């Protein structure tokens, strides 16, 4: 995997097809992004790794909300 930490470094290496992740701000090859028809270039704005972290946080948050709810019949 090629990782660029600055846009200047990224621009000098334009031979590699990829994009900058909207979450971690690291330039990665397209193979590290999920495909979508909703965006012009055909790839999601956040990389697969960042999306999985977001999904994990959402799942944990949802579990916490469900656990806090009480049953109306038995309190």
Q: For 18-66, how does the pLDDT look when each residue is reduced to its tens digit (9 = 90+)?
A: 999 999 999 999 999 999 999 898 999 999 999 999 999 888 777 766 6
Mean pLDDT to the nearest integer, 1-17: 60
Domain ranges of the chain: 7-68
In contact, 29 and 2? CB cutoff 8 Å: yes
Residues 6 or more apart whose CB falls under 8 angstroms from that of 27 comprise 2, 3, 4, 10, 18, 19, 20, 21
Q: Residue 33 has what pLDDT? A: 96
Render pLDDT for 28-41 as a digit per residue (tens, 0 to 9): 999 999 999 998 98
Tell me, what's the pLDDT at 59? Answer: 82
């Amino acid at each position: 995997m090629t990782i660029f930490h600055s846009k200047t470094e990224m621009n000098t290496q334009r031979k590699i097809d990829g994009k900058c992740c909207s979450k971690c701000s690291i330039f990665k090859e397209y193979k590290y992004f999920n495909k979508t028809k909703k965006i012009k270039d055909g790839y999601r704005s956040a990389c697969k790794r960042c999306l999985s972290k977001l999904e994990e946080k959402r799942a944990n948050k949802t579990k916490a909300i469900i656990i806090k709810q009480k049953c109306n019949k038995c309190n």
